[in-house]
Amino acid sequence: MIILIVIVVVFAGLGFFVSNKLKSKFKKYAQTPLQANLSGAEIARLMLADSNIHDVQVVCVEGQLTDHYNPMNKTVNLSPDVFYGRNAAATAVAAHECGHAVQHATSYAWLKMRSALVPIQNISGKLLNIVLIASLLGGFASIIPYESVGFIVVGAYSIMTLFTFVTLPVEFDASNRALAWVQTRNIVNRAEYDMSKDALHWAAMTYVVAALASLATLAYYIFVFFGNRD
């Protein structure tokens, strides 16, 4: 249990650092007007058009850093700061989310795998919650053998860990597509390109930390349930 607490504290601290760094970068780069004077929404629509994608809508959603692409209803969802923003930060986020739309349109393999894992990952998360609550209440002690509980926990957490690692190439590829497009299309100058690249780098780091935290926790559970065998 002490090891798990250490893992949680270390990665929570690392996650807090990366999250604060990300917010700081976006706040800084949001203060630099884009030379092209295009809003995030305009950039998104332009990138979609250049990619010959005409069935994806660009919409504004509430919140901060709530930007995402929804493959179910084919929408690029941008927060107000990004939707209306005319700066390097808004450019980076808008183009990145359109990168996901391009992945979807071109049947990018890693995105297809990630989408296929979503329902399995959701079930795994719910199963872990049930096991955790039941264990705290002593519910599994007299019903399911300890080793079987271990298989359930490790199996479910393995799916969740796999999901976090499959997410990495999806996010990095979307950023690469975004950066290549804004540069080729001359949306940004050199300084603005560097800002966009730096902002996307720190955004990607949040996914890296999440993946490593999940892997460390999985390793802990494997050790707890199966590491003491003779």
Q: What is the 3-state secondary structure (H, E, C) of 38-55?
A: CCHHHHHHHHHHHCCCCC
Between CA 22 and CA 79 the distance in angstroms is 15
Query: 101: part of which helix (H) or strand (E)?
Result: helix 88-105
155 phi and psi, to 5 degrees? -65, -45
Cβ burial, residue 67 (10 Å; 0-12/13-18/19+)? buried
pLDDT for the residue 128: 84
* Per-residue pLDDT, 194: 96
Inside any domain, residue 65: no
- Is residue 62 a part of any domain in this protein? no
Task: Report the C-alpha gap between 149 and 102 in whole angstroms.
Answer: 41
User: Does a structural domain hold residue 57?
Assistant: no
User: Is 64 within the bounds of a domain?
Assistant: no
Q: Which residues contact 81 (CB under 8 A, 6 or more apart)?
A: 30, 64, 89, 90
List 69's β-bridge partners, or say none.
76
**What pLDDT, on the 0 to 100 scale, is given for residue 6?**
82
What is the residue type of 110?
W
Residue 17 lies in a domain: yes
SS3 for 91? helix
Q: Is 46 domain-assigned? A: no
- 156 found inside a domain: yes
Cα–Cα distance, 52 to 61 (Å, whole number): 24
List the domain range (segments joined by +) for residue 170. 2-33+88-95+107-226
Helix locations, 107-189, DSSP H: 109-136, 146-184
pLDDT averaged per 10 residues in sequence order, the chain, 230 residues: 78 89 92 93 98 97 93 96 96 97 97 95 88 67 65 91 97 97 95 95 94 90 75
Count of domains for the chain:
1
The pTM for the full model equals 0.88
Distances in whole angstroms, Cα of residue 102 to Cα of each of 106, 143, 165, 228 = 6, 49, 20, 48
Whether 48 maps to a domain, the answer reads: no
Residue type, 12: A
Nearest Cα to 178, choosing from 90, 110, 114? 90
Q: What is the dihedral of CA 204, 210, 215, 218, to 10 degrees?
A: -160
